[in-house]
């Protein structure tokens, strides 16, 4: 089952829900959604338990909960690729992949667009639907990768 299917079925299983909106980017995602919503079956007890366990694990994770929506990116005066930088950080924080993380960081953060180039205007934080402390996380990224 896809990650999206777990999320959509979780919401659709809640009392009082008549519509679940799903952002889809391609035909495969649409077909996936149709496959389990056509003859919808609410989550069973075992599936509910699995979701609770996943919530517990994610809640204890120190990774940055960025959804890569990119809402923060367009208005950044320094054109910092914020979600790509957070993705690089999560490689190290979540999986201990220090080398891969560093490579991903320097692929995402060209000269002049590095985490340390942030001027703390906080335009990105106003746009972030997850209310992430982007500037603080960028300071951490600069310490992690640029020293």
Question: Cα(33)–Cα(85) distance, rounded to whole angstroms?
Answer: 30
Cβ at position 40, least distance to ligand SF4 in Å: 29
Applying CB under 6 A, among 44, 95, 130, 136 the residue interacting with ligand SF4 is 130
Applying CB under 6 A, among 8, 9, 32, 66 the residue interacting with ligand SF4 is 66
> Could you say which DSSP state residue 104 is in?
H
Which residue stretch of 28-36, 88-96, 104-112, 129-137 sits at the interface with ligand SF4 (rule: CB under 6 A)? Answer: 129-137
Applying CB under 6 A, among 8, 9, 32, 80 the residue interacting with ligand SF4 is 80
Binding mask 8-27 for ligand SF4 (x = CB under 6 A): --------------------
Applying CB under 6 A, among 83, 85, 90, 141 the residue interacting with ligand SF4 is 83
Which residue stretch of 1-9, 38-46, 63-71, 103-111 sits at the interface with ligand SF4 (rule: CB under 6 A)? Answer: 63-71
- Dump the DSSP string for 25-42: -SHHHHHHHHHHHTTT--
First to last CA, the chain: 41
Question: Cα(91)–Cα(80) distance, rounded to whole angstroms?
Answer: 18
Q: Long-range contacts: 47-54, Cβ < 8 Å, 24+?
A: 47/6, 47/9, 51/6, 51/10
What value, to the nearest 5°, has the Cα angle with vertex 71 and ends 55 and 52? 5
Binding site for ligand SF4 (CB under 6 A): 66-72, 76-78, 80, 82-83, 118-124, 127-128, 130, 132, 134-135, 138
């Amino acid at each position: 089952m896809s990650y999206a299917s777990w999320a959509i079925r979780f919401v659709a299983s809640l009392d009082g829900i008549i519509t679940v909106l799903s952002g889809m980017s391609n035909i495969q995602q649409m077909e996936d959604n149709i496959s389990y919503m056509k003859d919808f079956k609410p989550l069973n007890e075992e599936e509910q338990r699995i979701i609770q366990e996943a919530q517990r694990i994610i809640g204890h994770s120190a990774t940055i909960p960025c959804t890569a929506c990119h809402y923060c990116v367009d208005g950044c005066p320094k054109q910092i690729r914020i979600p790509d930088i957070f993705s690089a950080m999560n490689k190290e924080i979540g999986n201990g992949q220090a080398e891969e993380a560093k490579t991903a960081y320097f692929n995402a953060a060209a000269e002049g667009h590095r985490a340390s180039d942030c001027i703390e205007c906080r335009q990105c934080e106003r746009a972030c639907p997850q209310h992430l402390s982007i500037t603080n996380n960028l300071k951490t990224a600069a310490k992690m990768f640029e020293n």
